């Protein structure tokens, strides 16, 4: 059973860089074949997908973040990380890491992706 745990500073100053790490535990080969994602949640904007990284190092980001986000991975340590630069108060949120896996429907020849495991969340406040 894969488990995820976010860690990182809970307070970041405006214009600085937010850094969070997600540690993956459980299945010994748990980082292969999945998209490792970051999602944030605020009362005003709801749930917002930030981006993902695949085991190959390929990453995909929400363009709404205007190039401020970088996701990296260290498979040897079973961790992946988020860096969000030039933060403002609008980046204050509860940040979740999550695993996106796929199920292949052989009958329909379709892959269905879904987020099956989430961390408990890390609250980050941007304030001076």
The helix (run of H) or strand (run of E) holding residue 67 is: none
Residues in 16-55 that interact with another protein by CB under 8 A = 46-49
Interface residue with another protein among 63, 67, 106, 107 (CB under 8 A) is 63
Q: Is 118 in the site for another protein (CB under 8 A)?
A: yes
Long-range contacts of 99-108 (CB under 8 A, 24+ apart): 99/2, 99/4, 99/24, 99/34, 99/35, 99/36, 99/37, 100/34, 100/35, 100/36, 100/37, 100/52, 101/33, 101/34, 101/35, 102/33
Q: Is 121 in the site for another protein (CB under 8 A)?
A: yes
**Residues 125, 10 contacting (CB under 8 angstroms):** yes
- Give least dist CB 52 to another protein, A: 8
The contact mask relative to another protein for 71-110 (x = CB under 8 A, - = no) is -------------------------x-x----x-x----x
Give contact residues for another protein (rule: CB under 8 A).
46-49, 60, 62-64, 96, 98, 103, 105, 110, 112-116, 118-121
């Amino acid at each position: 059973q894969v488990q995820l745990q976010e860690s990182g500073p809970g307070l970041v100053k405006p214009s600085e860089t937010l850094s969070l790490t997600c540690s993956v535990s459980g299945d010994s080969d748990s980082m292969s074949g999945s998209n490792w994602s970051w999602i944030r949640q605020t009362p005003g904007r709801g749930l917002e997908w930030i981006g993902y990284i695949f085991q190959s190092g390929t990453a995909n980001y929400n363009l709404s973040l205007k190039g401020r986000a970088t996701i990296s991975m260290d498979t040897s340590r079973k961790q992946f990380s988020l860096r969000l630069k030039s933060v403002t108060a609008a980046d204050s949120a509860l940040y979740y890491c999550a695993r996106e896996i796929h199920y292949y429907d052989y009958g329909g020849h379709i892959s269905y992706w879904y987020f099956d495991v989430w961390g408990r969340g890390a609250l980050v406040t941007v304030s001076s």
